Amino acid sequence: MDIWLIISRLFLLLSLVVLIKYEHNLLKQAGKRGIKYIGLATYGLALGIMLLSVGNYADIVIVCELGVIITAISMIFYVRKISRITKRFNHLANIDPLTGLVNRRYLYNKLTQDAKYTNDASVLFIDIDDFKRINDNLGHINADKVLCEVADEIQTSLRGTDVLCRFGGDEFIIILPKTNKDTALSILVRLQENVAKLKLPENIEVNFSAGVATYPEDGTSFEELLYVADEELFKVKDHKTAFN
């Protein structure tokens, strides 16, 4: 159980105990039918206790003051819980549920905030070759496993500063900070070799094509680099198709 939920319920219990302390005087004034406790909670989180009574004003004020304090403390816990839930949802909104990689939304938010690069940087636009055949031969569940295996292999082969994103379907984007064109091409070849060595279901072989774009010669913004990398990817796949 969440620690803040436990604490809030303990505060609720404490407030009830203190209220009972004053109950004797209130009962004398109002009688058993003239007093009512109402627990206040939302999303399972205790906010406090509301007391309805006909009785001595001074006793009721003491109880109400305590209730305000307890409620205020519980509200602090409540706000913290909501903040943590919000952060969790924001995190999940940026993660691809299948591969666990960051998704397109994260990539655009991150890189458009950075606006421009200050050093050499390269973008790889990756597309798994003939993935439809893999889907047809293995079925969707096993094809998804292949996709995850490829993603894991690429991720483990990258540097700590590189960013791998599942762009959609069988497409991935890799951001290579402080990487010129030649280095990006060397990294690409190494990734292709590593993926080709993967041991996959039914001994299926997987390869991928990729387009490369580098700052500043191919563009000065993420959108420009992505466009050029996509165009280069199309040329590579078109070339492969022509020779098959």
Whether 145 and 76 share a structural domain: no
Instruction: Determine the pLDDT at residue 191.
Output: 96
Whole domain around residue 50: which residue ranges? 3-93
Residue 177: cis peptide before it, omega within 30 degrees of 0: no
Domain boundary at 62, 93, 124, which?
93
Whether 106 and 222 share a structural domain: yes
Instruction: Determine the pLDDT at residue 240.
Output: 74
Give the tens place of pLDDT for each residue, 145-194: 999 999 999 999 999 999 999 998 999 999 999 999 999 999 999 999 99
Q: Is 26 exposed, middle or buried (0-12, 13-18, 19+ CB in 10 A)?
A: buried
Domain boundary at 67, 93, 119, which?
93
CA proximity to 23, closest of 13, 9, 37 = 37
Sort strands 102-103 and 163-168 into parallel, antiparallel or unpaired: parallel
Which residue matches tokens 């004053």?
Answer: 22
Residues 42 and 11 sit within 8 Å (Cβ to Cβ): no
Whether 148 and 41 share a structural domain: no
Residues 210 and 195 sit within 8 Å (Cβ to Cβ): no
Which of 56-65, 105-114, 233-242 shows the lowest mean pLDDT across its residues?
Answer: 56-65
Question: How many CB atoms within 10 Å of residue 53?
Answer: 19
Give the tens place of pLDDT for each residue, 12-36: 666 666 656 555 555 555 554 455 5
Whether 62 and 131 share a structural domain: no
Whether 109 and 214 share a structural domain: yes
Give the tens place of pLDDT for each residue, 82-132: 777 777 777 667 889 899 999 988 888 777 665 555 578 999 999 999 999
Whether 182 and 163 share a structural domain: yes
CATH number, domain with residue 108: 3.30.70.270
The answer, yes or no, to whether residue 201 has pLDDT greater than 80, is no
pTM of the model: 0.66
Domain boundary at 93, 112, 142, which?
93
Whether 54 and 124 share a structural domain: no
Q: Is 133 exposed, middle or buried (0-12, 13-18, 19+ CB in 10 A)?
A: exposed
How many distinct structural domains can be found in the chain?
A: 2
Whether 114 and 219 share a structural domain: yes
